[in-house]
Chains A and B, each alone.
Chain A
Amino acid sequence: MSAFRRSLSGGALRRTALRGMVLVVLGAPAPAGAQLCQGVPLGSGAAAVTAFLGVADAASSGAGGAVSYQLGAPLALSAGYHRTRYDGSDAAVSSLRGGVSVQGASFDDVGAVHVAICAAAGAARDRVGDLTILSVPVGVAAGLALPLAPRTHAVLHVEPRVVFTRREVAGFSRSTRFMGVRGGATLAWRGLFAGVAHERERARSADSSTILLVGVRIGGPNIAPTMDTGSGP
């Protein structure tokens, strides 16, 4: 038993996970759906602009925006900016974030549900006062779109991930890594969508955040073409 545990621990398990991720990415040809893994309902060639409002807790307030783009290939990109203020403090947290999702597998025949599995990675730079936090999250994301009515979908996504960070303040630095998760639910109607997303760091639950978001699609179809017969808003 201990030998079995040893064989699954540390580097061996990480190598197994990496191999698994590579297999998922290279696995199946996929329609555009990588944005499903980021919770944004876009079809191939579509972009979206999203605005969000932080509702993490009563002691903070935040707002931001992001742009997302679903390439023709099973690749989705996003970039955004977020600013958070905490009550009783002059310091505000400025966050720049970018992300990429590569769809590895897609299932169109799970009832009426469209499911996408992706490898996901990103980079973020948070700055508050003299503190700078650089983060690189790497994970596997799953997204699903459930048609509710013509041109109306519910989109759910979840992404367990490992986050590598380097934090620096006043000449002192720490490198850490921890397990985190993010996910959310979005309702898409024609070219508009709205929802909620949550992000949590396992090591420090205080550093979780919840946002309400609204967005508009620019060009392209909603989600995958097979899911949405209309291309107009």
Chain B
Amino acid sequence: MLIITVVAAAGLSACDGSGAGVDDFSARPCVTPASTIAPAALEGLTSDGIRTAVLDAAGRIAASMPDGADADELRRALATMNDYVAVGSTDTACRLVHIAAQALARLPDDDATLPDRAALSLVIDLVSTALALSFRSSG
């Protein structure tokens, strides 16, 4: 029993902070992150319009972010998001929304990039709300 206690303590010490940000990689179905955009705001928006906004965010807007692993992850998540929505993999698209949102949150809080980061956040919220509506209609 002493050994079990020692291994348990070693395990706990090995786990410090390593579980952070793992929920978007959980085996459970993805739940869209909270969005600032109400579902009613999507009325009149076509799926093509949302896709265009995401592509613009992944290309032109995200390109203005400072180089680094987080900006690269943000760009890649946004760039591939549309592909998964197009083939009906909404669960994967939802995980990419989480990944993009977390990468965006990790970027430096710099005044120079604030407008672009706000625009990126808005696009991520837009996709999050659209996916939440999609989950609701298919569930």
* B13: chain A residues within 8 A (beta carbon): 9-10, 13-14
A109 within 8 A of B: no
A-B contact count (CB 8 A): 127
Map CB proximity to A onto B1-18 as digits: 1 under 8 Å, 0 otherwise: 111101111111111001
Q: Please determine whether B18 and A131 come into contact, CB atoms closer than 8 angstroms.
A: no
Q: Please determine whether B3 and A117 come into contact, CB atoms closer than 8 angstroms.
A: yes
Q: Please determine whether A204 and B26 come into contact, CB atoms closer than 8 angstroms.
A: yes
Q: Please determine whether B4 and A16 come into contact, CB atoms closer than 8 angstroms.
A: no
B99 within 8 A of A: yes
B89 within 8 A of A: yes
Q: Please determine whether A162 and B77 come into contact, CB atoms closer than 8 angstroms.
A: no
Q: Please determine whether A206 and B19 come into contact, CB atoms closer than 8 angstroms.
A: no
- Alpha-carbon separation in the docked complex, A128 to B95 (Å): 12
- A87 → chain B, closest Cβ, in Å? 8
- Alpha-carbon separation in the docked complex, A145 to B29 (Å): 38
B80 within 8 A of A: yes
- B19 → chain A, closest Cβ, in Å? 3
- Alpha-carbon separation in the docked complex, A167 to B98 (Å): 14
* A220: chain B residues within 8 A (beta carbon): none
Q: Please determine whether B92 and A89 come into contact, CB atoms closer than 8 angstroms.
A: no
* A148: chain B residues within 8 A (beta carbon): none
User: Per a CB cutoff under 8 Å, which of A91, A140, A176, A177 touches B7?
Assistant: A140
- When C-beta atoms are compared, the residue in chain B nearest to A95 turns out to be B27
- B10 → chain A, closest Cβ, in Å? 4
- Give chain B's interface secondary structure class: helix
Q: Please determine whether B91 and A89 come into contact, CB atoms closer than 8 angstroms.
A: yes
- Alpha-carbon separation in the docked complex, A17 to B29 (Å): 36
- A232 → chain B, closest Cβ, in Å? 35
Map CB proximity to B onto A1-41 as digits: 1 under 8 Å, 0 otherwise: 00000001110011011001101100000000000000000
- B2 → chain A, closest Cβ, in Å? 8
- When C-beta atoms are compared, the residue in chain A nearest to B10 turns out to be A17
Q: Please determine whether B3 and A170 come into contact, CB atoms closer than 8 angstroms.
A: no
Q: How many residues of B contact A (CB 8 A)?
A: 38
* B7: chain A residues within 8 A (beta carbon): 17, 20-21, 139-140, 160-162
Q: Please determine whether B3 and A21 come into contact, CB atoms closer than 8 angstroms.
A: yes
B126 within 8 A of A: no
Q: Please determine whether A131 and B25 come into contact, CB atoms closer than 8 angstroms.
A: yes
* A128: chain B residues within 8 A (beta carbon): 27, 29, 91
Q: Please determine whether A169 and B25 come into contact, CB atoms closer than 8 angstroms.
A: yes
* B9: chain A residues within 8 A (beta carbon): 8, 13, 17
- A62 → chain B, closest Cβ, in Å? 11
User: Per a CB cutoff under 8 Å, which of B11, B22, B23, B29 touches A89?
Assistant: B29
Query: Told that A131-B25, A203-B19 touch, could you supply 5 new A-B pairs with CB distance under 8 A?
Result: A131-B91, A139-B7, A140-B4, A160-B7, A176-B18
**15 sample A-B contacts, Cβ–Cβ < 8 Å, listed by A number:** A13-B13, A24-B3, A89-B91, A117-B3, A133-B27, A139-B7, A160-B8, A167-B25, A169-B25, A170-B80, A170-B95, A172-B76, A203-B22, A207-B27, A207-B28
| A residues lining the B interface (CB < 8 Å) | 8-10, 13-14, 16-17, 20-21, 23-24, 84, 86, 88-91, 93, 117, 126, 128-131, 133, 139-140, 142, 160-162, 167, 169-172, 174, 176-179, 202-204, 206-207
| B residues lining the A interface (CB < 8 Å) | 1-4, 6-15, 18-19, 21-23, 25-29, 73, 76-77, 80, 84, 89, 91-92, 95-96, 99, 135, 138-139
- Top 3 A-B residue pairs of the complex, sorted by shortest distance between their CB atoms: A203-B19, A167-B25, A89-B29
